[in-house]
Amino acid sequence: MNGVGLPLAEAILSVERNEHERAQLAQKLKKWERGLSDYGMEEGLELGIQAAEYGWSDAPPRRAPPPRRVALCPSPHAFRSSR
């Protein structure tokens, strides 16, 4: 299902839908997504679901950036002795 999200979102956004119709479509897509997760395909419809939920008028909430990785031990170069 990879690659389906973008064309699905484009198709959803190309049709004029009111908020109620978009909510119904989002629920249907979420149901399909749950069914696909049984086959290990849970991420294919996410973009289409966002298009149905938010349409053109609203922006989806921003996700927090992933946490930065911090080295817990110093660089191996820090242990080199200077001669």
The 10s digit of each residue's pLDDT in 14-63 is 998 888 999 999 999 999 988 887 777 767 788 899 899 888 876 666 66
Q: Is the pLDDT of residue 71 over 70?
A: no
- How far, in Å, CA of 44 to CA of 9, rounded? 11
pTM: 0.62
Q: DSSP of 2-20, one letter per residue?
A: TT-HHHHHHHHHTS---HH
For the chain, the structural domain boundaries read 5-54
